[in-house]
Structure 1
Amino acid sequence: MIYGIGTDICDIRRIRETLARRGERFAEKVLGPHELAVFRERSARVPARGISYLATRFSAKEAFSKAIGMGMRMPMSWRDCEIVKAASGKPEIRLHGELAIWFEAKGLKAHVSVTDETEYAAAFVVVESKD
């Protein structure tokens, strides 16, 4: 049964400008530990790839917060929600802390899709209940 659906589109230029203004502190606020390592690795090789990665993760977390119906308020937090890649390459949501406890107690499962183009990143999340 569908619990919630969320979608988000993000202007990559806005992410680039925020990163230029605030530096890596912005990435550290939005990204979890695994994501931050991937961001740094991609940024070191090709800065534009790092920015696109940050934008897709930002968009996916916004979409997830909408799908669970709470926006960016506790237990939802930027760093407790990570978008990771499965061995197959499929994006998956990995939760930590109070958010993971809340999500598991509700018996929920999330599915996420992310995409990006030159100027935009977008994400779509479906959260289903096991009932």
Structure 2
Amino acid sequence: MIVGIGVDLVDIPRFERTIARTPRLLERLFSEAERRLKPHSLAARYAAKEALIKALGGSDGVHWTEIEIASEASGRPLFSLCGSTAAVVAGRGITALHLSMSHDAGLATAYVVAEADPASEVPAQLGAPAIIPEGIA
């Protein structure tokens, strides 16, 4: 069952100017492995992290450097979570995160879908469907 959706769009040239102006942002936003990537890839990863936070319904307990975007052998992107961020995701009953990223024409975008087991209780702030008693709908 889908419990959250997030999307984000990043202007790559603006992102590059921000990083050039404030290089310490790289350490605050990205894992050591991610920092080696080219700016357009970093912009897509920034969008992915923002989209994840939106899919989660907020950033409480989520830390940027505990979210790493890795790739399967096929090249498909996936989240690698650790620390309190992993605990927050698990605590919200999320069993799967789906990620798509792209960049073109100076823009980077990411789309995230968060899923939970329909049998588990999902907090209302994550968009769990309302249960409507019979006869009211």
TM-score by length of 1: 0.83
Distance 1:88 1:114 in 2: 14
**Cα RMSD between the aligned structures?**
1.2
Q: Which of 107, 112, 116 in structure 2 is aligned with 1:129?
A: 116
Is 1:101 matched up with 2:87? yes
Displacement after TM superposition at 1:32 (Å): 1.7
Q: State the identity %.
A: 37
1:89 aligns with 2:88: no
Moved over 6 A (4+): none
- Are 1:120 and 2:107 an aligned pair? yes
* Residue equivalent to 2:33: 34
Unaligned segments of structure 2, at least 5 residues = 119-137
Please tell me whether the aligned partners of residues 27 and 54 of structure 1 are also in contact (alpha carbons under 8 angstroms): no
- Aligned to 1:79, the other structure's residue is in SS state helix
Q: 1:111 corresponds to which letter in structure 2?
A: H
- Which of the two has higher C-alpha Rg? 2
Q: Equivalent of 1:54, from 42, 47, 69?
A: 42
Query: Number of aligned pairs?
Result: 117
Counterpart residue identity of residue 110, structure 2 = A
Aligned-partner Cα distance in 2 for 1:55–1:114 = 10
Match of 2:5 in 1: 5
Asked if 2 retains the 8 angstrom alpha-carbon contact of 1:3 and 1:127, the reply is yes
Superposition deviation, residue 125 in structure 1: 0.3
Unaligned runs of 5+ in 1: 40-49
Structure 1 distance, partners of 2:3, 2:42, is 27
